[in-house]
């Protein structure tokens, strides 16, 4: 299965994507995780990405697209869950071209729907333990604004293609996982 998991910062994308990847045996491709690994290893990509991440801005499309292209072309990505990508209309177009070239069409896009104030609360809670430099209140609010402006229009694009499934992202982790499985019509 090939899918994208979308949702605003704090919607629980990372947690759900990781667990779902395990359940269905797909590669979990998280652009945020790849950037953070590069920051940790102090690679050139990491140095470029860090400035944007710390400010709550998106890393430029050409950098992100090249990174995803390299990852999604590998053999283990015949089944994949994209987590945190695409985030801009340009990234959607690039992804479309990559998947045509690889002959790996998308099956579905899951969008986690979570109430805005709940999101800020979750992220502030995560900030206490995550050690992420982009989990301060100011940066969190900025990341929500960037999401609304740049990424929420993608929901309409995937909806018009008939690929979008909205899933209630409120509640506990297992409950949400069950709703995702229901949306994907996975058996238990
Ligand atoms: P995440 O872990 O998905 O919340 O991503 C953390 C940060 O990494 C974001 O705030 C961006 O700075 C950067 N990032 C992750 N994915 C992308 C993407 N698809 N396009 C641009 N920047 C991204």
User: For residue range 95-118, what is the model confidence (pLDDT) as tens digits?
Assistant: 999 999 999 999 999 999 998 788
Q: Which residue has the tokens 């704090």?
A: 10
How large is the average pLDDT for residues 16-21?
A: 97
Closest residue to atom 8 of ligand 1, CA basis? 32
Q: Which of 29, 37, 58 to mutate to test the pocket of ligand 1 (most atoms within 8 A of CB)?
A: 58
| Helix, strand, coil abundance in the chain, percent, nearest 5 | 60, 15, 25
User: φ, ψ for residue 89 (rounded to 5)?
Assistant: -60, -40
Using one digit for the tens of pLDDT, what is the confidence trace for 121-161? Answer: 888 888 888 877 788 888 888 999 999 999 999 999 999 99
Distance from the CA of 173 to the center of ligand 1, in angstroms? 22
Q: Ligand 1: which of 59, 131, 136 to mutate, judged by most atoms within 8 Å of the beta carbon?
A: 59
Element housing 102 (H / E): helix 89-102
């Amino acid at each position: 299965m090939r899918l994208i998991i979308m949702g605003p910062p704090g919607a629980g994308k990372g947690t759900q994507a990781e667990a779902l990847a395990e359940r269905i045996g797909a590669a979990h491709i998280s652009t945020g995780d790849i950037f953070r690994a590069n920051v940790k290893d102090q690679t050139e990509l990491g140095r470029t990405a860090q400035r944007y991440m710390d400010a709550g801005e998106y890393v430029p499309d050409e950098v992100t697209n090249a990174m995803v292209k390299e990852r999604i072309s590998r053999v283990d990505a015949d089944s994949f869950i994209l987590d945190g990508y695409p985030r801009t209309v340009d990234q959607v177009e690039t992804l479309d071209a990559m998947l045509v070239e690889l002959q790996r069409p998308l099956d579905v896009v899951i969008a986690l729907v979570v109430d805005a104030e709940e999101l800020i609360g979750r992220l502030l809670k995560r900030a206490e333990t995550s050690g992420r430099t982009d989990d301060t209140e100011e940066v969190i609010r900025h990341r929500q604004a960037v999401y609304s402006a740049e990424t929420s229009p993608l929901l309409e694009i995937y909806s018009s293609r008939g690929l979008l499934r909205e899933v209630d992202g409120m509640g506990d982790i297992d409950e949400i996982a069950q709703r995702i499985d229901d949306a994907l019509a996975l058996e238990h």
